[in-house]
Amino acid sequence: MVPLVAILLSGCLKDDLDPAALNNNPFDAEYAGPAIFSFDTTFIEFPTGEISRQVFQFKVNSALFLEPQAYAVYVEDLGNGSASYVQQFPAGSHTLRYYKGDYQAGVETCLRLSLSNNYHQSRAETICGTLQ
C-alpha cells in the first residue's frame, strides 16, 4: 500500500512548471523582457596624446538582473564587422564603453550587444548613436 501511495504522490505538481515561460533572465538567449541596453553618449578621447579614438558609451539596465552579477558585453560593430568583449570597468559599473579607432564624425554607428557570462551570450540587441 505504501509504494502505491508514493507512486500516486510522485505525479502531483509535475505540470506546474512551464519551461517555456522561464524567459525573465536577461542572461538567457530566450529572454523576453524589456531592453537591456541603452545608448548614452559618444565623445572623442586622446589616450596616447595625438592618437584619438571615439568612445561609444552605453548603459546596462542592471535592475533587470535576478541577482547582482559580474558580466561582460559582447559587442559586434555592424559598421566594420569587428567583434570583441567589453568588460565592466570599474567592476560593478553598469556604464560601459566601446572604443572605435576607425571613425568618422557625424556618422551613425550601430552595435549589436549581448550580455555575456562565462562566454555564454544572451539575446542580442542593437543600439545606435551618432559619432562626434
The yes-or-no verdict on residue 90 having pLDDT over 60 is yes
pLDDT band (50, 70, 90) for residue 10 = low
pLDDT band (50, 70, 90) for residue 105 = confident
Give the residue from 125, 97, 117, 129 showing the smallest Cα distance to 36.
125
Return the number of other C-beta atoms located less than 10 Å from residue 26's C-beta. 25
Would you list the DSSP string of 67-108?
S----EEEEEETTT--EEEEE-SSTT--EEEEEESS--TT-E
Mean pLDDT within 89-93: 82
Please tell me the pTM assigned to this model.
0.80
Quick one: residue 39, left, alpha or beta (phi over 0 = left, psi -120 to 50 = alpha)? beta
Where is mean pLDDT largest: 4-8, 10-14, 128-132? 128-132
The grid cell for 74 is 559582447
The dihedral over CA atoms of 112, 113, 117, 119, expressed in degrees to the nearest 10, equals 20
The yes-or-no verdict on residue 42 having pLDDT over 70 is yes
The CATH number fitting domain 17-130, selected from 2.40.10, 3.30.460, 2.30.30, 2.60.40: 2.60.40
